[in-house]
Amino acid sequence: PGRGGAATVAVIGWGHTGRAVARRLARMGLRVLANDPPRARRGEEGLLPLANVLRRADVVTLHVPLTLRGKDATLRMVNDSFLRDARRSRLIINTSRGWVVDPRLTCRDTTVEFVMDVWWWENRKLFRSGAEVRLPPIRFASPHLAGRSLEGMYAGTMRIHQRLCRFLGVEPRWQPPGLKAPDPIVVDGRGLSAAEAVAQASARVLDLGAISRTFMKTLGPAAVKPDDGFLRQYDSWRRTWSRPRREFSACRVEGRNLSPAAVAWLQAAGFRVNP
């Protein structure tokens, strides 16, 4: 929690994903501070300077594109200077692009930990096979599993199909198959906080804790040198570890002894809830 009760989350990048994350966080009663310099220059309201949001945030979540140069470059944006401004933060979450985080971070004089779903070696133009990467302190790690749900992959396939049909001047006819509803998730909220109820339901969809423990054994505690064999294995992990994950919105939670706050948090996360 933040010093005033509810945690404060800095959302860096105010595009489609950043806004969607912010809406869910706000529904959970968390304070959201947003930063997006290009949009701020275009006159969008409510966007704050980066140093301002970092110095006030308990958690930082990154939703920026990888921009290599210019005044809004995000390449190595999370560097030691960034961490000094974010020294009150406990978590930095990166689900955007690996190179947004500087692989040369020292992480001195900070207690921050990282949640990492994206990695430097995914960009084969910037990363040299076998180069050593220094790992920051990591709370959770996964091999770029965000977006690899059945619903997400079908939606992406549908968009590609429709755009290709428009380009070819033909009528789009393909439709994704109907997906069977997953089994209900039973959550007994007795003794659980709202956050713990969400964590329990989420683990039934995708056990991030187990994935992270397995992945971290491969990465090692401090540094990794991804060679060609590692890169092939990494691509395999992406394909297999999230199969057949479903979106939270497809899942129904059968609640037992859930508090109103737990119900609200589960719904904000996207679950359908029968309290």
Per residue in 102-140, pLDDT (tens digit) is 998 888 777 899 999 999 999 989 998 888 888 999 999
Q: Which ranges in the chain belong to alpha helices (H)?
A: 16-27, 37-41, 50-56, 80-85, 150-168, 194-205, 208-219, 228-241, 260-269
Query: Of 56, 97, 148, 245, which is the active-site residue?
Result: 97
Among 58, 52, 59, which residue's Cα sits nearest to residue 3? 58
Q: Is 16 a catalytic residue?
A: no
Q: Does residue 27 lie within any of the structural domains?
A: yes
pLDDT of residue 5: 55
Query: Of 144, 161, 163, 166, which is the active-site residue?
Result: 144
Q: Is 144 a catalytic residue?
A: yes
One domain for residues 118 and 195: no
Query: Of 39, 45, 90, 122, which is the active-site residue?
Result: 122
Average pLDDT over residues 65-80: 95
Q: Does residue 263 lie within any of the structural domains?
A: yes
Range of the domain at 139: 8-147+208-243
Q: What six digits make up the tokens of 176?
A: 């994704």
The CATH number for 46's domain is 3.40.50.720
Q: Is 97 a catalytic residue?
A: yes
Average pLDDT over residues 238-242: 80
Report field, pTM of the whole predicted structure over 0.85? yes
One domain for residues 128 and 76: yes
One domain for residues 201 and 113: no
Query: Does residue 2 carry a pLDDT above 90?
Result: no
Regarding beta strands 91-94 and 133-134, do their DSSP bridges make them parallel or antiparallel, or are they unpaired?
Answer: unpaired
Query: Does residue 199 carry a pLDDT above 90?
Result: yes
pLDDT of residue 6: 80
The domain tally of the chain equals 2
One domain for residues 269 and 226: no
One domain for residues 189 and 217: no
